[in-house]
Amino acid sequence: MAPKPRRVTQREIAEIAGVSQTTVSVVLNDRDGTNVRIPEATRARVKQAIEQLTYVADPAARRLAGLDNQIIGVFTYEAALSPESMDFYGPLLNGIERAAERIGWDLLFFTSSPVEDGTRSLFHRKTRLRLTDGCVLLGQQMVASELERLVAEQFPFVAIGRRDETAAAVPYVAIDYVTPTTALIDQAAAAGHQQALYVHRGRDTPAARDRRGAVEAASAEGRLAFLLVGEERIADLPRLARATGASVIIAEDAFLLEDVVHALTTAGVAVPEEVSVAALGEVRGHRIEGRMLAGFHVPREQLASEALDLLQLLIATDPQEWAELETRRHLVAEVEPGETVVARTGDPS
């Protein structure tokens, strides 16, 4: 982890501004400027000195001095605007834009840090992090050392998605995937399905672990028996379904499910008449031969709005009081019944 920057002292600010430390203290604790004992010219000199000393080193002092820019940074660890990633990032970015517009703040989208080995560095020398009053972080996986540095420096930020990369007190807004995964599995079991395949991407992200954990729990409890299958074995799914008697295949996301359905139909397996299918991800906008997919609706715009609401709260609160705030929020994805999980012949629906 990078070393924590040295704190700028009131003495240093006083020396540059040519005032006493007491005057600096009064300015720092008088955000609304109601203390008439401090002339405006003196107040301006103190703020200029703070800006000179703390533009990079001490954003907390800048906020206390009323030097916020009303600019929110948006940083994505992966490329966000490619055709492949827009399905995931598009609703999030739309929600952030709407929320920022509502509160009258501007967004600064960090793009100067290059993508290297599939990820960006927030603290790349080109990233203009300190121009902002706070930052929203997006990414399937984030860099633990960078999260820890932000926490140590008391820089206001909110991550989208639960963060397990570090034990540091990372503020985040996340989707609860366990609850809807459990509900979707129970619906499949109620429709008479007993054997299932779960097709996953092998990712080690919190959301992927939550989905897989709920699948494994259902299998262990005997609600619906699953065989876990990596995406590299999609071509084997027709054979695996016949060998295991699986009548339903659940995929980690809708894009993966489209590949699953292609493999099944190519092998002559009728979907959903012979094998039902569902996705543990957003399915609105995805259809199979005109049928609505069973899966989730993920409230990503609401997720982004909650993230900006939390970030604004952190910006407006003294960092010494952050421990008293509820800085981890969870939203639940909604189950979309769709038309691709059907009752087994002769079984109750």
Measured from the Cβ of residue 330, the count of other Cβ atoms closer than 10 Å reads: 14
We find that the CATH architecture of domain 10-65 is: Orthogonal Bundle (1.10)
Separation between Cα atoms, residue 68 and residue 64, nearest integer Å: 9
Kindly report, residue by residue over 106-156, the tens digit of the pLDDT: 999 888 777 777 778 888 877 788 788 899 999 888 999 999 999 998 999
We find that the CATH architecture of domain 177-297 is: 3-Layer(aba) Sandwich (3.40)
What rounded mean pLDDT belongs to the chain? 86
Same fold, 71-175+300-333 and 177-297: yes
Rg from Cα positions in the chain: 25
Partners of 138 in the β-ladder: 76
CATH topology for 71-175+300-333 is Rossmann fold (3.40.50)
Separation between Cα atoms, residue 100 and residue 82, nearest integer Å: 23
Tokens 């107040």 belong to which residue? 43
Lowest mean pLDDT among 11-15, 72-76, 208-212: 11-15
pTM: 0.75
Separation between Cα atoms, residue 313 and residue 266, nearest integer Å: 53
Separation between Cα atoms, residue 292 and residue 273, nearest integer Å: 14
Q: Which pLDDT score is estimated for 57?
A: 39
- Six-digit token string for 45: 């000199």
Domain ranges of the chain: 10-65, 71-175+300-333, 177-297
User: Residue 322, Cα to own-chain centre: how many angstroms?
Assistant: 20
Q: What is the DSSP string of 145-201?
A: HHHHHHHHTT--EEEES---S-SS---EEEEE-HHHHHHHHHHHHHTT--EEEEEE-
Kindly report, residue by residue over 187-199, the tens digit of the pLDDT: 999 999 999 999 9
The CA distances from residue 124 to 44, 110, 112, in Å, are 32, 10, 8
Lowest mean pLDDT among 15-19, 182-186, 255-259, 305-309: 15-19
CB 306 within 8 A of CB 237: no
Separation between Cα atoms, residue 59 and residue 57, nearest integer Å: 7
Kindly report, residue by residue over 30-77, the tens digit of the pLDDT: 655 666 678 888 888 888 887 666 534 345 555 555 556 788 999 988
